[in-house]
Amino acid sequence: MIEVENLTKRYGEKVAVDGLSFTVQSGAVTGFLGPNGAGKSTTMRMIAGLDQPTAGQIRVNGRDYRRADDPMAELGIMLEARAVHTGRSARNHLLALAQTNGIGRRRVDEVIDLVGLGDVAGKRVGGFSLGMGQRLGIAAALLGEPRVVVLDEPVNGLDPEGVLWVRNLLKDLAARGHTIFVSSHLMSEMALTATRLVVIGRGRLLADTTVAEFTAHAGDSSVTVRTPQAAELRAALLGPGVTVASDTPDVLVVEGLTAEQIGTAAWQAHLPVFELTAREASLEEAFLQLTEGSVDYHAHKPAMAGAAQ
């Protein structure tokens, strides 16, 4: 379990994390979302004890990680940038980390096999691809079979097979009672892996909830109906809290009713329906909606876009 309380981090004038409080529970994969510059990596560095909070505190498994006697059994962490001496082989890198906590060579070979680096374990890390570097980072995080696993952008640079492997690995670890806290900018990936979400923007908490709740509350769920008798169906559906829009003849976009309710209403009014499609707001849309206004780095629409058409 990770408990974050009123966490604040200032770098000079810039406030990177601002009064952040949340709890990451064991036995679940918790996604950590936020736009670039929201303070995700800073928060993770503070969890690892690398950066000292300006105010507030963090407890890992109920204790201050910087005082841990058995750190590698408490917390395994992979940070965003590669944290490996490029001149060292993968095996020696992992061995050096393992030895500090009295973890043996057998476990080092185990995690090397686990992450699929067996063929290149003796090679210098400097020549590793982004994906291999990620696998090495994950291997390092798992060395001590830690109760809490924190990974910053673990699927970055992985091929589809690797992405699937990480997804299953994290779910498996969570099912075994480990606390898993993962940041990602890939919202779709997070929707498949995480069950809980912590969303931050500009260093502040925007949401601490489940994935299901998060998307449900985002609104914008709608049902598209195709019918030759659009006007009659619209009349049959309209009511309090229901909006019906129509861009093309024969097609209605209904908000405020479920597909079941619309289908039943059409059947009762003896109106034919050719298509009935429920569209849930995706995690991505929910995320964009929530973080709107807390994004530091906006892409601006090119001024010439209209002229080019």
Partner 1 sequence: MSVLTSPPAAGVPRVKVTQVRVLRSEWTKFRSVRSTRWTLLIALVLMIGIGALFAAVNASQYQGFSAADRASFNPVTVSLSGTTFAVIAFGVLGVLTMSGEYGTGMIRSSLTVVPRRLPVLWGKLGVFAAVVFTTSLTASLTAFWLGQALLSSHHLGVSITSPGALRSVAGAALYITVCGLLGVTLGTLFRNTAAGIATFAGVFFVLPPLTSLLPSSITNHLTQYLPEGAGSVIWGQTEGVSRALSPWTGFAVLCLYAVILIAAAAWRLGHSDA
Residues near partner 1, by CB under 8 A: 45, 48-52, 65-73, 75, 77, 79, 81-89, 92-93, 95-104, 110-111, 113-114, 140, 142, 144-145, 168-169, 172-173, 176
Supply the minimum distance, in Å, between the C-beta of residue 237 and partner 1.
Answer: 50
Q: Please enumerate in sequence order all residues whose Cβ is within 8 A of that of 163, keeping only pairs 6 or more positions apart, or say none.
A: 155, 189
| Amino acid letter for position 215 | T
Query: Of 16 and 262, which CB lies nearer to partner 1 in the complex structure?
Result: 16
Residue 224 has φ and ψ, to the nearest 5°, of -100, 130
Supply the minimum distance, in Å, between the C-beta of residue 155 and partner 1.
Answer: 17
Query: Of 99 and 289, which CB lies nearer to partner 1 in the complex structure?
Result: 99
Supply the minimum distance, in Å, between the C-beta of residue 184 and partner 1.
Answer: 20
49 burial level (CB within 10 Å; 0-12, 13-18, 19+): middle
Query: Of 125 and 223, which CB lies nearer to partner 1 in the complex structure?
Result: 125
Residue pair 22/208 in contact (Cβ under 8 Å)? The answer is yes
Query: Of 45 and 196, which CB lies nearer to partner 1 in the complex structure?
Result: 45
Closest CA to 278 of 231, 228, 216, 211: 216
CA distances to 184, 186, 232, 291 from 152, rounded to whole Å, are: 7, 12, 53, 19
Supply the minimum distance, in Å, between the C-beta of residue 144 and partner 1.
Answer: 5
Supply the minimum distance, in Å, between the C-beta of residue 171 and partner 1.
Answer: 10
Query: Of 140 and 271, which CB lies nearer to partner 1 in the complex structure?
Result: 140
Query: Of 79 and 182, which CB lies nearer to partner 1 in the complex structure?
Result: 79
Torsion of CA 204, 207, 209, 214, to 10 degrees: -150
Supply the minimum distance, in Å, between the C-beta of residue 185 and partner 1.
Answer: 20
